[in-house]
Structure 1
Amino acid sequence: MDRSYRQLWEVYFTQLVFNLKTETRKTYLNYLWWILEPAMISGVFYLVFAVFLNRGTDDFLLFLLCGKIPFLWFSKTVSNASNAIVQGKGLIHQMVIPKAYFPSLIIGQDFVKQLFVFLFLFVFIIILGGEFTLNWLYVVPVIVSQLLLITACAFVAAAITPFIPDFRFIISTGMMMLMFGSGIFYSYEDVILKEHQELFLLNPLANLLKNYREVLLENIAPDFDALGLICLGSAVIIMLMLMWFKKHDSTYARVIVQ
């Protein structure tokens, strides 16, 4: 590996650890917030849909957690990464650094936190009567597929926002639409007409949520064909965005000072 890239990776992991430690020191509960935040948000939605609206089944809480927790990972990381290059303008003006570094740092930080959240999810499923089997290992390719999808979307958001700052508002609106259009609160098999279900699953996030539930709640293998397509599409977008960042590297330094 080239020395400059090795040094960049060293800086990346050093800053990642430093940022995580700094973030936890700002609160009294430290690392517990990584778990409490998604748990509290999921609890509110459970109260609304399962209790007040009486729309849930006996296992609705687990169903909701398997949808809401992965969605929160996606929405928070893409939203946070959208402003990553602008927030890194201080470092950009001091040294030449690949612009993909900044959203990648956000992706890495949120992924570390998400691992703890997934651990909470697995334990909670067992506590509420879920059955742990070796089939749960199938969740690894689902997580990897989502990580690639998040990386692709985060790169796109980070690339556009410095040129169009209002794009952050579009992202916020898009996340709201995805939240209601990805089957977080409902089973697509019960709500959507059978002839429209394949169209619904073209939404990669909805497809991932379906696979999470099949692995963790039904103990069956995920749809590897669908995961493969998600990984392939995400990888293509990531490569294109890396080429974009490289081509327009000097442009970002001029744009973010305006």
Structure 2
Amino acid sequence: MKNYIQEMLKRKDLLFYLVKSGLKAEHRNSYLGYFWWLLDPLLNVMVYYFLVVIVLGRGGENYPLFLVVGLVVWRWISTSINSSSKSILRYSSIINQVYLPKSLFPISFTLTQLFNFSFGLIVIALFLAIYGVMPDWHIIYLPLIIFIQIIAHLALGLFLAYITIFVRDIENLLTYVTRIFFYASPIIWEGARLLRSDRIPDGLKALIELNPVAILVTSYRDILIDHQAPNLMALFAIFIISLALGIFMLYYYSKNEHKIIKAL
């Protein structure tokens, strides 16, 4: 595994190139280009605001602010999962011709989506300013939460990119899995209020509370909107599990990359 990581470090220029080309490819044929990185979260907020507030008559005070944080964080999660899962298949023609550490491809797609998320943070800052909610000293937790989420995305991306090569149906299945996590997380609904109600069985409440997506989304809202510390124990658990999975997957890649060539 040590040799494998050294090989990855030697190919860091390729990693930078993959990230750069991925950023260019996202809106290559778009008239608005990179402006979509700002416009997309804004349009998402408008759609769900119309659905929840106008149509269903729900949503409390500062609901658009609550909504934009959840949607921006979710967009980062979903795009990272979907893009990294297809990363090796996307570059199969290159992989079959030249030896490269295959783990570089899901890593590059994950880093690409991190860059996109930075534009989402700009949108969140805009909403905070509009609603007069200024973050206090709890903002110091923001880099920690982002770092933990990056580790989680990298680990999950490495896992999904590898398994998708051998089980192509995973790509289609992810559409439904991510949809379940979207509605099982407090992205468009207020988690604390719903969990206090009697509409959800106790067993299901426990699953929702242990949902890593819910933990991450709530952590951002805790420090940006509610001015309180996030659930550090839950974040630490996500970090340890993600780190263990990431290290295991790098080891697995180093021992089984020949299988990828055969499957492609």
Counterpart Cα distance in 1 of 2:170 and 2:23:
27
Aligned residues: 256
Q: Structure 2: 5+ residue runs without aligned partners?
A: none
Distance in 1, matches of 2:216 and 2:162, equals: 25
Q: Does residue 248 of structure 1 match 2:251?
A: no
1:80-159 mapped onto 2 (5 Å cutoff): 80-159=83-162
Please give the TM-score of this superposition, normalised by the length of structure 1. Answer: 0.92
Residue type of the partner of 1:231? F
For residues 38 and 134 of structure 1, the distance between their equivalents in structure 2, rounded to whole angstroms, comes to 26
Residue 32 of structure 1 pairs with residue 40 of structure 2: no
Q: Distance in 2 between matches of 1:190 and 1:57?
A: 11
Unaligned runs of 5+ in 1: none
Question: Do 2:141 and 2:223's aligned partners in 1 also have CA atoms closer than 8 Å?
Answer: yes
State whether structure 2 residue 69 is matched by structure 1 residue 53: no
Q: Which amino acid aligns with 1:190?
A: R
1:231 to 239, 247, 254: 239
Give the aligned residue type for 1:212.
Answer: Y
Q: Aligned residue for 1:62? A: 65
Render the CA deviation track for 1:185-240: whole Å, top value 9, x for unaligned.
Answer: 22222112486655422111111111111101011121222111111110011111
Q: What RMSD over aligned residues (CA atoms) do the two structures have, in Å?
A: 1.9
Alpha-carbon distance in 1 for matches of 2:127, 2:63 = 13
Q: Distance in 2 between matches of 1:123 and 1:193?
A: 31
**Is the 1:126–1:132 contact (alpha carbons within 8 Å) kept by the matching residues of 2?**
no
CA contact (8 A) 1:163 1:255 kept: yes
What one-letter code is carried by the residue in structure 2 that aligns with 1:82?
S
Q: CA deviation at 1:58?
A: 2.0
2:168 aligns with: 165
1:215 to 198, 215, 223: 223
Q: For the residues of structure 2 that align with 1:120 and 1:140, how far apart are their CA atoms?
A: 17
- What CA deviation, in whole Å up to 9, does each residue of 1:162-194 have, x standing for no partner? 101011121110001001001112222211248
The answer (yes or no) to whether the contact 2:41–2:123 under 8 Å persists in 1 is no
Matched to 1:240, the amino acid is F
Note if contact 1:161-1:167 (Cα within 8 Å) is conserved in structure 2. Answer: yes
Q: How many angstroms apart in 1 are the aligned matches of 2:22 and 2:150? A: 20
User: 1:244 Cα deviation (Å)?
Assistant: 1.7
Q: Which residue of 2 aligns with 1:76?
A: 79
1:145-175 per-position Cα deviation (integer Å, ceiling 9, x unaligned): 2111222222221111110101112111000
Are the equivalent residues in 2 in contact too, given 1:49–1:56 (CA < 8 A)? yes
Q: Distance in 1 between matches of 2:156 and 2:22?
A: 22
Quote the offset at 1:135 in angstroms. Answer: 2.1
TM-score scaled by length of structure 2: 0.90
